[in-house]
């Protein structure tokens, strides 16, 4: 699953740590999501999008491989 977390963090000028604290996960989790090494739960996806003031679809995008 692709994401625009790094871009959205830059817009808000916040670190991975600060986003992690706002969402309630570890910095390592945010890093893994950004690097597309971890697919977060629906709750975490929604919290991240809400933190950025965006819809889930504005921050996350399914790839063809996600359907297999």
Q: Are 16 and 34 in contact (CB under 8 A)?
A: yes
Q: Are 65 and 55 in contact (CB under 8 A)?
A: no
List of domains in the chain: 2-61 (1.10.260.40)
- What SS3 class is residue 60? strand
**pLDDT digit string, tens, across residues 10-63:** 999 999 999 999 999 999 999 999 999 999 999 999 999 999 999 999 999 999
State the Cα–Cα distance between residues 11 and 9, nearest whole angstrom. 5
pLDDT of residue 3: 98
pLDDT of residue 68: 85
């Amino acid at each position: 699953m692709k994401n625009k977390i790094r871009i959205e963090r830059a817009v808000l000028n916040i670190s991975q740590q600060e986003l992690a604290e706002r969402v309630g996960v570890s910095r390592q989790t945010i890093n893994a999501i950004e690097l597309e090494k971890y697919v977060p739960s629906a709750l975490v996806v929604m919290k991240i999008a809400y933190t950025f003031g965006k819809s889930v679809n504005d921050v996350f995008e399914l790839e063809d491989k996600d359907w297999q």
